[in-house]
Amino acid sequence: MSTTPARSSKRAARPKKPNNGWLPFFFLLPAAIGYAVFYLWPLVRGIWLSFTSFNLLTPAKFVGFANYERMFQDPIFWNSMKVTVWYVLLNIGIQTVMALIIALMMHQLTQSTFLRGVVLSPYLVSNVVAALVWLWILDTQLGIANHVLEWMGLDRIGFLTDEAWAIPTIALINVWRHMGYTALLIFAGLQTLPNSVYEAARTDGASETRIFFSITMPLLRPILALVLIMTIIGSFQVFDTVAVTTGGGPANATNVLQMYIYDMAFGRFQFGYASAMSVGLLVILGIITFIQFKLTRAGETDLD
């Protein structure tokens, strides 16, 4: 007996899937509009202004690559770049190591939700508030930190007024604020690693140190690569902590690139030159991100 009619009836009985091909785009539309208005259009506008002389009082005048030529010959720009790189090295180096240690401790010793909240709490404080609090704590005359140093028999330190101390202090302030968030990102990555690999390593007699360097770090590499890319981009854009605590001083010792761009745009109304430096920073971050992505193989995993 033929089964063709039965098969045909089953096919006919299957409900047709609704054609909602437009629905995902409908939900993405608000985000796409926000991206175009607040990111894409300012980017295009900024690139155009970088080729002009514009000060809000007169129409933008096309000047070609004059702003970029000025940028390459500007000693303050290169000093700001050097200060920014020094800040990034301190901030990212200390923050990544501390965040990795905290994440490992949370993963190995406890997974308490309360402790995760405590670790994340500094990140919930705005940059401006955190900077103000540390400004008061580290004040040379009235700050409690210097009173403690004096009580210990040590000399007072101008944490935010001394050229040698200013950038390391600002870097440590931002390490304190962002360290918990970075630790939680790494902690989330640690939770995705399979326990079977660790069990096999311990069965073979591998020590915890050997397991960390031979298993944890290689398997965690894509997460660490992503964290480094995000934190380095954010560190190059440091502004509010510097603006609140030092204002770029003393003697341009903390005049990071974003601070210099802000001063040129809203202090001296040289929007064309400020836009050129912003485009330069964009190109530098793009190159750094590309190199990081390739060197760390962020798109690959060793779990396969």
pLDDT in tens, 165-198: 999 999 999 999 999 999 999 998 888 888 888 8
Query: Is the pLDDT at 116 greater than 50, yes or no?
Result: yes
Over residues 190-214, mean pLDDT = 86
Q: What is the pLDDT of residue 83?
A: 96
Q: Break the chain into its structural domains and give their ranges.
A: 37-296
Cα–Cα distances (Å) from 161 to 20, 117, 141, in that order, read 61, 33, 11
pLDDT in tens, 77-95: 999 999 999 999 999 999 9
Say what percent of the chain tops pLDDT 70. Answer: 91
Q: What is the pLDDT of residue 178?
A: 94
CATH 1.10.3720.10 at 37-296, yes or no: yes
- pLDDT interval class at 203 (50, 70, 90): confident
**Which of 6-10, 103-107, 261-265 shows the lowest mean pLDDT across its residues?**
6-10
Over residues 145-156, mean pLDDT = 92
Structure tokens, 287: 């190159």
- pLDDT interval class at 1 (50, 70, 90): very low
pLDDT in tens, 225-267: 989 999 999 999 999 999 999 999 888 999 999 999 999 999 9
Over residues 30-53, mean pLDDT = 94
Say what percent of the chain tops pLDDT 90. Answer: 62
Among the ranges 58-62, 88-92, 106-110, 225-229, which has the highest mean pLDDT value? 88-92
CB 147 within 8 A of CB 67: no
- pLDDT interval class at 302 (50, 70, 90): low
Q: What is the pLDDT of residue 196?
A: 86
